[in-house]
Amino acid sequence: MPISRRMLLAAALASALPFAAQAQNSAADRADIARLEKYMNGITTLRAKFVQTEDDGRQLEGVLHLQRPGKLRFQFVPKGPYEIIADGTRLNYVGGGALTQVSLDATPLSVLVAETIKFDDRLQITGIEREPGFIAVNLVQKKNPGGEKLQIVFGDRPLQLKRWAITYKSGRTVTVGLFDVETGIDIDPKIFVYSNPHLQQRQTD
């Protein structure tokens, strides 16, 4: 699954896209939040090419599969240093010869695969930002507002999920840009199953 240099450049530019913050909780904000939630709730399955960009410019690419509720998988091409699979209950992070499992609800990305997507359910909306052709929602976890921060960026009119960025407590930001997005497609359920009995398993809540 080749990804063109144009797509890689677009992902790098998207990760640095400057948004100008708008007033929070205005009538326009509430209308846009409702519009974004309606769009996201209309997506039951999604497949897209992705480029993941680190702060230092390192990039990984592959295919994302998503199925609501609760399932997603990043398939890196070529195979990356780790795997990320959400099986409906837990987020499985496989890397360094070990399997780490965390509750899906403990991660900001859970909002993308919730049974009913409502941005201010487990998360807190900290701002809505707009640029021509784009709209972004900024989120933190209600139980840990000083923890990870999530920004989800949409193309506007028509709406389309474009990218998200997670900023960790350490200050490190990882951005995932999506391309060739398909929705409403059939996905083999085996994609969301991970089993390797030889891995050392760690669980955190």
Q: Which domains does the chain have, with CATH numbers?
A: 5-185 (2.50.20.10)
- What mean pLDDT comes out for the span 134-140? 96
For residue 18, the model assigns a pLDDT of 44
Confidence of residue 26 (pLDDT cuts 50, 70, 90): confident
Structural contact between residues 165 and 14, judged by C-beta atoms closer than 8 angstroms: no
Specify the pLDDT at position 199. Answer: 55
pLDDT tier at 149 (50, 70, 90 boundaries)? Answer: very high
Banded model confidence at residue 106, pLDDT cuts 50, 70, 90: confident
Which residues contact residue 145 at a Cβ distance below 8 angstroms, ignoring those fewer than 6 apart? 124
- pLDDT over 60 (residue 13): no
Q: What is the mean pLDDT of the chain?
A: 85
For the cut 90, the answer to whether the pLDDT of residue 200 exceeds it is no
Rounded CA-CA distance 200/135 in Å is 41
**CA distances for 158 relative to 32, 88, 111, 179, angstroms:** 13, 29, 21, 15
Q: Which SS3 state, helix, strand or coil, does residue 190 take?
A: helix
- The 10s digit of each residue's pLDDT in 38-54 is 999 999 999 999 999 99
Compute the distance between CA of residue 136 and CA of residue 121 in angstroms, rounded to an integer. Answer: 17
* 3-class SS string, 22-68: CCCCCHHHHHHHHHHHHHHHCCCEEEEEEEEECCCCCEEEEEEEEEC
pLDDT at 202: 53
> How far, in Å, CA of 195 to CA of 199, rounded?
9
Mean pLDDT of 157-167: 95
Angle at 97 between CA 82 and CA 68, to 5 degrees: 45
Contacts of 124 (CB under 8 A, 6+ apart): 139, 140, 141, 142, 145
Give, as one character, the DSSP assignment of residue 1: -
The rounded distance, in Å, linking the Cα atoms of 200 and 94 is: 10
Q: How confident is the model at residue 72 (pLDDT cuts 50, 70, 90)?
A: very high
pLDDT of 84 higher than 50? yes
- HSE-CB at 178 with a 13 A cutoff on CA atoms is 21
Give the end-to-end CA distance of the chain in Å, rounded to a whole number.
35
Q: What percent of the chain has pLDDT over 70?
A: 83
Instruction: Give the whole-angstrom CA distance, residue 63 versus residue 128.
Output: 28
What's the pTM? Answer: 0.83
* H or E element that contains 76: strand 71-76
